[in-house]
Amino acid sequence: MVVSFIAYIAGASAFPIASENLLPWSAWFLISVIVNIILWSNVVKLLTFSLAIIWFYAFVAGLVPESSTAVNLTELDWSDPDAVAEQGALVFNGKGQCAACHTVDTSAPPGRCPDLTDIGVNAATRVPGMDAKAYLIESMYQPANFLVPGYGKIMPEVWKAPINLSKLEIEAVIAYLQSQGGEIDPTPFDEPIDRADVGTTAEALPPLLTGDPELGKKVFVDAACISCHAVTGIESPAVGETNEDFEVVTAPDLSEIAAFNDMRYLEESILLPAAQIVSGYGAVTVRAKGTTYQGTLVSQDTEKIVVRTKAADGTEEEHTILLTEIDDEPIEELTNLQARGYFTLTLTPTDADASVTGEIVSETDETVTLKVGDENRTFSKTDVKSQMTVITFDGDEIVGDYVSGTMDDDEIVLIVDGTEEIFDTFDLEEATMTRARGKKLLVTSPMPENFPLILTVTDMTNLLSFLSTLTGATAEAVTEETGETPTE
């Protein structure tokens, strides 16, 4: 008996209970059990029982996949793309911190980051001429190069500190993204960046906040931020309690706002709420087929938008509007069209007769690039013919290329659909000279813009110090109590 007891201790110390030792340890254990059953003694039976429990725990722990933070990719086996995608899923949910921002669940509430359920297919449709893999590579290395419509410049460059994904981890995560509705493309690629040039240490942190978080919390309540924004641990005003200064609206929960946002973003959110509007919360006004919709922009993609309107009696309704149904509006100047929310444009180049309509891909001071059908066409802004929009008496809009005449003359001559037509200015209700027409989607922030005027510099410093404490630590403590895994 003593011998077998010593054998247990020796066995246990030779193979400490850890998942990689599970097999030798279990083998050793089984042999010992058999030996003990032969030797038979109550004390040994008890001991066997206790060790059986330890073995059971070790076995179960060995079955549970290792914590994702422990993943250390050294090579990828591309002969089994699905296995690579599984490794990518671990990076996605662990070290990559992707799951802190992105959902892969279409029923999740709207957030500041796109849902990636069908990214495997959608990736091929985002940037004209760019295939799915190239788009995903760019999304990882230079996320700001192309912003998904409706989202701000929030995504970090995940290959940089503090996330520091290696090329292998990025390859795996791209395989995982492609497996979401699409096909995994195992073609190797070169990193589009030179890590040596960038350095891998974290960027300098903003100067330490000198404010007092407790006073900031008071500002948060007194300035009525709490009327719209929930924060774990602070009581929100009772439902229906109105604030005389502004209309209370649905706004993002700020309990974890500092976990993935820097101070600059928080400061900008208060000083310039419209600079980056959280997706799913923007206020929008859009005209489609003569009806004006005013409400919240729920979602937006390259084909349609969803707008939620609220009737006077409080009932809410969601309207899905195809971009093609949105009414054209004249555009006076071709400057910064995207920032103003224009997404398609109709213009007539000087050397052409017919007008061209396309989605705005990019714009410089001199040129504008439109996606026309499948190709990108760049037009010089000075090489665009005058076009005139005439609104006649019975409400019909006539669009034509300008030939001659102004509202001060008797007649205005336009080429409409290739034929010259003469309009009597007397019959015209209103005439706007415009060189191009487009579809506009003006999104604004429902958050009041006057906080910079209301808050003193000290208030602002204290408020930011308070917001910087909202990292979800409280939320985590709560979820831990209920036994759920915190989402971080």
Residues that bind ligand HEC (CB under 6 A): 92, 96-98, 100-102, 112-114, 119, 122, 126, 136, 139, 143, 147-148, 151, 154-156, 158, 165, 173, 177, 223-225, 227-229, 246, 248-249, 251-252, 254, 257, 260, 266, 269-270, 273, 277-278, 281, 445-448, 451, 463
122 or 465: CB nearest ligand HEC: 122
Task: Supply the minimum distance, in Å, between the C-beta of residue 378 and ligand HEC.
Answer: 23
270 or 323: CB nearest ligand HEC: 270
Alpha carbon distance 363, 335 (integer Å): 8
Buried/exposed code over 270-296 (b: 16+ C-beta within 10 A; e: otherwise): beebeebbbbbbbbbebbbeeeebebb
In 249-338, which ranges are E strands?
Answer: 283-288, 291-300, 304-310, 316-322, 328-331
Residue the block writes with tokens 């034509």: 400
276 or 479: CB nearest ligand HEC: 276
Q: Six-digit token pair at 331?
A: 């555009």
Residue the block writes with tokens 């599970």: 22
48 or 269: CB nearest ligand HEC: 269
Task: Supply the minimum distance, in Å, between the C-beta of residue 444 and ligand HEC.
Answer: 8
Q: Six-digit token pair at 341?
A: 């929310």
284 or 390: CB nearest ligand HEC: 284
Task: Supply the minimum distance, in Å, between the C-beta of residue 70 and ligand HEC.
Answer: 17
Task: Supply the minimum distance, in Å, between the C-beta of residue 248 and ligand HEC.
Answer: 6
Q: What angle do CA 384, 386, 389 make, to 5 degrees?
A: 130
Q: Six-digit token pair at 149?
A: 């419509």
- One DSSP character per residue, 386-410 reads -EEEEEETTS-EEEEEEEE--TTSS
Task: Supply the minimum distance, in Å, between the C-beta of residue 267 and ligand HEC.
Answer: 9
Task: Supply the minimum distance, in Å, between the C-beta of residue 52 and ligand HEC.
Answer: 42
Backbone angles phi, psi at 436, to 5 degrees: -160, 155
Task: Supply the minimum distance, in Å, between the C-beta of residue 373 and ligand HEC.
Answer: 22
148 or 356: CB nearest ligand HEC: 148
26 or 474: CB nearest ligand HEC: 474
**CA nearest neighbour of 437 among 360, 361, 328, 296:** 328
51 or 248: CB nearest ligand HEC: 248
Task: Supply the minimum distance, in Å, between the C-beta of residue 228 and ligand HEC.
Answer: 3
Task: Supply the minimum distance, in Å, between the C-beta of residue 334 and ligand HEC.
Answer: 25
96 or 400: CB nearest ligand HEC: 96
| Dihedral sign (CA 64, 68, 71, 76) | positive
Alpha carbon distance 307, 23 (integer Å): 58
* Sheet hosting strand 342-347, strand order edge to edge: 328-331, 436-440, 342-347, 356-363, 367-372, 375-380
Q: Six-digit token pair at 409?
A: 């003359």
Residues 195, 439 contacting (CB under 8 angstroms): no
